[in-house]
Structure 1
Amino acid sequence: MSKRIFSKRMVIMLIILAVVFGLIFGFKAFMGKMMNDFFDNMPQPAAAVSTYEARQDNWASILEAVGTVNAVNGVNVTAQVPGEVEAIEFESGDSVKKGDVLIRLEAAADRAQLNALEATAGLARQEYDRYQRLFKQGSISRSELDNRRAQRDQAVAQAQAQREQLNYKTVRAPFDGVLGIRQVDLGQFLQAGTPVVSLNQLQPIFVDFALPEQELSRIEKGLKVRVTLDAYTDQQFEGEISAIEPGVSEATRNVSVQARFENEDNKLRPGMFASVDIQLPQSEDVVVIPRTAISYAPYGNAVFVVKDAPQKGETGENEESDADSEKKAEGADKIVKKRFVKLGRRRGDLVAVIDGLKPGEVVATSGLLKLRNDAAVTIENDVQPSADATPTPGNS
């Protein structure tokens, strides 16, 4: 009997505990739902933004490419014959003219050999002159005279060859240009072909780049080209197309193009990376906005278009309920709508919008990180982000 009563009491206690814990967890779930509903329905404070009205502009058509700066002439000056460096006649970074002496190799033995060969050549000339007189007197045959002529010519040629060999002992600049860093030392023994110093002609200079074959019909020699260098980001350099490769690469389907620049200040150096803009004679109408108005994202670029907040009883662009729209617009008379756009070329602080925006529509240009679709905003245009097509540094 007592055992049955004990079991009954245990069942009652378990039921009571289950009810108590159920009430506790139920209360917590209820409170959580109420808090979530409160935060979900809590009016969002209006974000302060600056705005810009999208406008239509006429931009010159431009093709963009990336290129590399190359010298008209650029070589590593080398020694043509072996020898020990006797004198160095230049400093690293010097500007030189064609024919200027760069280094001299030790050449005492070569000069002595040249003297010996010139003496032999002189004797051969005298012998030939004597034999020529004898031939006129009938004392010798024509074959003997011809043999002496051959000996004379051979001796002269050997002396000339030695003279050229001696000239190779003096290394000269092959063209006008700017020297690099010296790569040899005084007293160093050089083998033939050993680099002495780099030499590059910097005026004029070329920029080589490639364009897709689809653009071949739009370019021609003489078109103006502008390049920007990473070393001089605030400066553009102007040149013109000087050559177009007649064939198209089968591997890339690109055509190689070369532009010529005067480079009077020697700022363009071989090997530099260059951003290239080719100015075409045609122009196009574009819708432009500041680059600060673009929200960049991997899944697509977007802008926040400023709209009038829906009044009570109206519905927003996304067919939201009246209560939802009024809640999001509370405290402000403007809201923003996120809209994905397709971007085109950039010019200074401006960017062209190819698709997704019309002239006259107003976009937010600051505070984008605080915005989301249908967020309430207030407009403060006291401080405007830069929106200049040709910006210049403030210290210029």
Structure 2
Amino acid sequence: RVRRLAGAGALPTATLEDAERAVAVARAQKEAADARDAAASDEVVELRLAEAAVAQAQAAVAGAEARLARTTIRAPHDGRVLVRMVEPGDTVRAGDVLFELAADGATELVIEPDERNLAWLRVGQAAKASADAFPADVFDATVSYVAPAVDPSRGSIEVRLLVPDPPAYLRPDMTVSVDLEVAAKDDVIAIPSDAIRRDGDRPFIFVVDGRRVRRQPVAVGLSGEGYSEIVDGLEPGARIVLATPLALEDGDRIRPIEREP
């Protein structure tokens, strides 16, 4: 329009030139803005591509770490290796036993008494234990666990005992003997347990009668720490035959040798 007006002589030529310069400047500014928009759009695309590459790399790292973790076997607790079943380079499968460990922590004994003794067992029960390798050294223990079910194949029940002050010689898998305190009585007749013989399920002892022995059936009560209660069949003060390798019969002649209780 300015050009038409200038051609018709309605506007000065200078005004036409000013208008044309303004149009050129505006057109250049638009082209610059379009170029900036295009560059910004390219930068956004590149940023999105870079972010996707980072996410993919992070996923690859996580996958590699997971695979690496599966190649490391960790013990469920601190302890000492007792037996190693594999060697470096061996192929193993899920569920294979690789090591046997003795766990650090409290010392525990495991016994499996007959299920007929279940009525006498309870958590917190005091006990005395000794290792078969050191029978004269008796140490304290306490029942900490009684299994909720009986082993049907063996007719026994698992019982665990904690040892608050274990002797230094105690080792995993050692054989121990345990006496549980199920009851206590005063003023009873008690004799060494190894003096009691059995004829099937019928207990008896040999009583000294002059210079002969007499077979005497007895009823046995509580037992523990090497002694057994005799509830019937033995009078106080009677002399009995203690454990002996000799095979005795009722009425055999003997030469008694007294032993202090």
Normalising TM by the smaller chain, what interval? Answer: 0.5 to 0.7
Cα distance in 2 for residues equivalent to 1:255 and 1:371:
38
1:261 to 155, 158, 163: 163
Counterpart check, 1:341 vs 2:211: no
Of 341, 355, 360, 2:237 maps to 360
Say whether the 8 Å CA contact 2:204–2:218 is kept in structure 1.
yes
Match of 2:140 among 238, 242, 255: 238
1:205·1:268 contact (CA, 8 Å) conserved in 2? no
1:201 pairs with 100, 103, 117, which one?
103
1:276 and 2:154 correspond = no
Identity %: 20
Matching of residues 146-157 of structure 1 within 5 Å: 149-157=51-59
Query: Which of the residues 91, 112, 127 maps onto 1:190?
Result: 91
2:191 partner SS: strand
Deviation string 1:165-187 (CA, Å, 9 cap, x unpaired) is: 3455555555321112444445x
Find the structure with the greater CA-based Rg.
Answer: 2
Give the letter aligned to residue 250 of structure 2.
R
Q: Take 1:289 and 1:148, find their aligned partners in 2: how far apart are those partners? A: 90
Give the whole-Å Cα distance in 2 for the aligned partners of 1:243 and 1:299: 30
* Aligned 8 A contact 1:248 1:254 in 2: no
- TM-score with structure 1 length normalisation? 0.43
Greater percentage in strand:
1
Deviations 1:356-393 (A, max 9, x none): 112222334488746633x6665443xx3x75xxxxxx
Q: 1:162 to 1:344 in 2, by over 3 A?
A: same
Give 1:338's aligned amino acid.
Answer: R
Partners of 2:179 and 2:224 within 8 A in 1: no
The alignment partner of 1:269 has SS state of coil
Q: Deviations over 1:302-347 (max 9, x none)?
A: 3333446xxxxxxxxxxxxxxxxxxxxxxxxx65433222334554
* Alpha-carbon separation, structure 1, partners of 2:43 and 2:155: 73
Q: 1:372 aligns to what? A: 250
Aligned to 2:4: none
TM-score normalised according to structure 2 size: 0.59
What letter is aligned with 2:236? Answer: P
Specify whether residues 277 and 347 from structure 1 end up closer, same or farther in structure 2 by C-alpha distance, changes over 3 A only.
closer
Cα gap change, 1:211/1:336 in structure 2, threshold over 3 Å: closer, same or farther?
closer
- Which consecutive residues of structure 2, in runs of 5 or more, have no partner in the other structure? 1-35
Structure 1 runs (4+) greater than 6 angstroms displaced: 140-147
Size of the aligned set, in residue pairs, is 220
Q: How does 1:307-318 map to 2 (within 5 A)?
A: 307=209
- Alpha-carbon distance change, 222 to 200 in structure 1, aligned in 2, over 3 angstroms: same
Cα drift, residue 256 of structure 1: 4.4
Partner of 1:227: 129
- Could you give the per-residue CA deviations for residues 36-71 of structure 1, whole angstroms, max 9, x where no partner exists? xxxxxxxxxxxxxxxxxxxxxxxxxxxxxxxxxxxx
Higher relative contact order (CA 8 A, sep 6+): 1
Taking structure 1 as reference, are residues 163 and 234 closer, same or farther at Cα in structure 2, changes over 3 Å only?
same
> Given that residues 115 and 150 in structure 2 are in contact (C-alpha distance below 8 angstroms), is that contact kept between their aligned partners in structure 1?
no
- Shift of the 377–254 alpha-carbon distance from structure 1 to 2, 3 Å rule, reads closer
Q: SS at 1:357's partner residue?
A: coil
- Does the 8 Å contact 1:230/1:273 carry over to 2? yes
Contact 2:181–2:224 at 8 Å: present in 1 too?
A: no
Distance 1:379 1:241 in 2: 43
> Aligned partner of 1:269: which letter?
P
Contact 2:81 2:101 in 1 (8 A): yes
